[in-house]
Amino acid sequence: MKRLLLGLLTTLTVLALNAQIKISGTVKDTKGRIIIGASVVIKDSYDGGISDSLGNFSFKTFEKGNQVIVAKYVDYKTVETPVNIGAEPIVTNFNLKEEVTELKAVTVTAGSFEASDRKKASTVLSTLDVLTTGGGNADIVASVKTLPGAQQVSEQEGLFVRGGTAYETKQFIDGTVVNNPFNASVPDIASRGRFSPFLFKGTVFSTGGYSALYGQALSSALILESIDLPDQSQATASVSTVVFGAGLQELAKNKKSSWGVNYNYTNLAAYFAIVKQKPDYFHIPEFHSTDANFRVKTKNGMVKFYTTYAASNIGLRRPDIDSLVLKDAFSIKNHNFYNNISWKENLGNGWKVNTGFSYSTNRDELSQQVQNVTNTPVTTGYSWIDNKNFSTNSRQDLTQIRTVFTKRISGISIVNFGGEYWYNYTNTTFNNATYLLKDNFTALFSEADLYITNNLAAKIGARFEHSSIINKANIAPRISLAYKTSPGAQMSLVYGEFYQKPENNFLYFNPTSLGYIKATHYLVNYIKTTSLQTFRAEAFYKKYHNLIVTPPSNIYSNNGDGYAQGLEIFWRDKKTFKGLDYWLSYSFLDTKRQFNNYPSELQPTFAASHTASLVVKKFISKINTGFNFTYSYATGRPYYNFMANGNKYDIRDQGKTKDYNNLGFSLNYLTKIGKAYAVVVASVTNVLNSDQIYGYNYNYNATYKEAIRPPAPQFYFIGVFLSWGVDKRQDAINNNL
């Protein structure tokens, strides 16, 4: 009986084995590379297998008829193959296509330094970095100047990037351009930026080759994205050697909206009484600034509104360079009003919209008088002295509306398209003569971000622009490619054409005789990043076309040109030395241009051949104190004295300034004062008291020149920043863990 049961069992087993069908094959990617560990199963069944070290898989199944075999692997698209299972073994091979994801996909990095919430691994300059850059005094532009590409120009405000003037760099907030991003300008003294780093969550500093979504910046764009809702309600106050301020930020209980207000008053009278200044200030620099914001969540997006008003008054005297006893008294009163509202929304089905509106008005009242020893206005009868007397009232208005639509086209690939309209109004009165400029500027743009694989991406776009004041149009193509060379490493290539209208002072007379100035950018870069280290090297070539030249005849033309080329290196390291964060940047720049009154192609006065910065930050938890050092160096910049000779200018004198050296230091001590969280900040520029010369001013016949130096060798700052509701101290601690 046992033998009968054993025989029956054996027979059934053999029949069952004969009923199973073998399914086998290989799993590879689209380039023929073996994929190990891929799952291959019959859909809606338990039968399947795993690919081995050779990419082979094999399993048996009882399933019959029409079935679907599914192959899947992490980071690859799932593939389904229909089969008909009969009595014969089945062999099927799979070629899986890599899934392109935001976390793994290569991104175009040439020409830009980006810091934002969505790119934390590649963050280069965060809000906290701005606040803790030694000697930077929480000024966004001062911190950006520690990055490669930016020049160390300290006698006038603005970003001078890769051989470009300050006019060639524009700042954008939530997509719209800022017409007057700096405080009122005083000759030979640089002013601060108007905006606090606390306003922004994302920063893109483009040193060239930036997106087709932006325009009218020949060399560079600083693109700022404002914060969304705050984490919680808070009140703030600040007291320092130069400024007093207070603010309130209120978050709704449902955390879907917030509002806030801030006010700051700056007066340097007490500071100047202690730290003597070279100019004789008859009106100590005084600033009032206030701002307000409102933010609200929509169904699938956000509406943000920001408004700010600032007023300033400055008056100073300097010795007149053409006289031994006379003085030049310069004064400026400035009023600036800026408004920005933006709306972002996810519309569904792969569609998004981002629209913005901004309006700003800026008014300057400038005057200069030649005065005698008793500070009384005088007339000498000498034109080279009397022509320095002037008064100017200027109003600059800019209205802009901009809309960008985004459509996901495949995977994470998207296309952006939209347009913008600017209305520029400038009314200037100079010594009772009035000049009026009006410009209707329109632009259309489109740009596609194409992710071909996780290792290869392209950004292809173009802009169309038209300006009514010069009655000219342009089309600017731009293309970028990026290829991942290894995990965390990639290369990028960029080509683009960039246009910009001439500056207003060239447009007052016969503007239609002038056209756009143009620059063509070529960039290549390599970047290697980890969570704690970033290495970046970039080479560039920029060709200038149609620069404005101003011969003695005052018949302006677009006959100028030039070039800029160079190599830049950036290294940031939070890993090598425990608790130490530092970055090192170096820029080599070879540039010449013929523009303005330059008689030929010359290295411009704002360009140094070699520039370097070292930023070091160390936070000591035991004493809750951060120590921050910034050392900046630049080789001497050229200076020239041009004298009219018929219909051209001759160079009567030229040379180079001494090398620029500046060591800045700051410390931030974290503590509590009563119920308030407090940060005590102390800062000083030019710790080593280096003699800094930015250039030279000449008298009327070039027989005498005077060095341009800062108003004082050093600037000191001590302040206490208080907050109730949010412990901002924790940001500093977390950033240094």
- Whole-number pLDDT of residue 106: 61
State phi, psi for 508 to the nearest 5 degrees.
Answer: -65, -25
Rounded Cα gap, residues 331 and 491, in angstroms: 50
Buried b (16+ CB within 10 A) or exposed e, 545-573: bbbbbbbeeeebebebbbbbbbebebbbb
Domains of the chain with CATH codes: 21-96 (2.60.40.1120), 112-735 (2.40.170.20)
| Number of neighbouring beta carbons within 10 Å of residue 281 | 15
Assigned token pair, 569: 């290196």
Please list, in sequence order, all residues whose beta carbon lies within 8 angstroms of the beta carbon of residue 103, skipping any fewer than 6 positions away.
Answer: none
Rounded Cα gap, residues 66 and 71, in angstroms: 17
The band of 116, judged by pLDDT with boundaries at 50, 70 and 90, is: very low
Decide if pLDDT at 10 tops 70.
no
Q: Percent of the chain at pLDDT above 90?
A: 72
User: Are 445 and 462 in contact, with CB atoms under 8 Å apart?
Assistant: yes
The band of 737, judged by pLDDT with boundaries at 50, 70 and 90, is: very low
For tokens 């808070």, name the residue.
234
**pLDDT tens-digit profile of 342-370?**
999 999 999 999 999 999 999 999 999 99
Decide if pLDDT at 447 tops 60.
yes
SS (H, E, C) 270-285: HHHHHCCCCCEEEEEE
DSSP states of 588-614:
EEEEEEE-BT-SS-B--TT--SEEEEE
- Whole-number pLDDT of residue 313: 97
The band of 138, judged by pLDDT with boundaries at 50, 70 and 90, is: confident
**pLDDT tens-digit profile of 175-225?**
999 999 999 889 999 999 999 888 888 788 888 888 999 999 999 999 988
Q: How big is the chain, counted in residues?
A: 737
- Whole-number pLDDT of residue 326: 96
Q: Report angle CA 485, 486, 492 to the nearest 5 degrees.
A: 35
Nearest to 136 by CA among 185, 182, 187, 193: 193
**pLDDT tens-digit profile of 618-634?**
999 899 999 999 999 99
- Whole-number pLDDT of residue 9: 46
**pLDDT tens-digit profile of 537-566?**
999 999 999 999 999 988 899 999 999 999
Q: What is the mean pLDDT of residues 249-276?
A: 94
The band of 472, judged by pLDDT with boundaries at 50, 70 and 90, is: very high
Contacts made by residues 34-38, CB under 8 angstroms, sequence distance 24+: 35/73, 35/76, 35/96, 37/73, 38/71, 38/72, 38/73, 38/76, 38/94, 38/96
For tokens 């996810």, name the residue.
346
Query: In 504-647, which ranges are E strands?
Result: 517-529, 533-549, 557-573, 580-594, 610-620, 625-634, 638-645
- The helix (run of H) or strand (run of E) holding residue 388 is none
**pLDDT tens-digit profile of 44-79?**
888 888 999 889 999 998 888 899 999 988 778 899
Q: What is the mean pLDDT of residues 512-519?
A: 95
Nearest to 199 by CA among 243, 246, 253, 260: 260
- Whole-number pLDDT of residue 112: 63
The band of 13, judged by pLDDT with boundaries at 50, 70 and 90, is: very low
Q: What is the mean pLDDT of residues 80-86?
A: 91
Strand partners of residue 308: 291, 338
Question: If 0-12 CB within 10 Å is exposed, 13-18 middle and 19+ buried, where does residue 508 land?
Answer: middle
User: Are 124 and 149 in contact, with CB atoms under 8 Å apart?
Assistant: no
Nearest to 221 by CA among 280, 167, 183: 167
Report the mean per-residue pLDDT for the chain.
90
pTM: 0.86
What is each CA distance from 375 to 318, 326, 367, 696, in whole angstroms? 11, 9, 14, 25
Contacts made by residues 246-254, CB under 8 angstroms, sequence distance 24+: none
Decide if pLDDT at 124 tops 80.
no
| Number of neighbouring beta carbons within 10 Å of residue 258 | 21
For tokens 């000219």, name the residue.
472
- Whole-number pLDDT of residue 726: 72
- Whole-number pLDDT of residue 439: 97
User: Are 333 and 286 in contact, with CB atoms under 8 Å apart?
Assistant: no
Please list, in sequence order, all residues whose beta carbon lies within 8 angstroms of the beta carbon of residue 578, skipping any fewer than 6 positions away.
Answer: none
The DSSP code for 4 is H
Decide if pLDDT at 727 tops 90.
no
- Whole-number pLDDT of residue 579: 87
The band of 122, judged by pLDDT with boundaries at 50, 70 and 90, is: very low
Nearest to 287 by CA among 269, 307, 302: 269
Chain-centroid distance, C-alpha 601: 29
**pLDDT tens-digit profile of 263-307?**
999 999 999 999 999 999 999 999 999 999 999 999 999 999 999
SS3 state of residue 505: helix
Decide if pLDDT at 15 tops 50.
no
Rounded Cα gap, residues 77 and 273, in angstroms: 70
- Whole-number pLDDT of residue 107: 63
The band of 647, judged by pLDDT with boundaries at 50, 70 and 90, is: confident
Decide if pLDDT at 103 tops 70.
no
- Whole-number pLDDT of residue 18: 52
Q: What is the mean pLDDT of residues 236-260?
A: 94
Assigned token pair, 547: 């620069």
Q: What is the mean pLDDT of residues 672-684?
A: 91
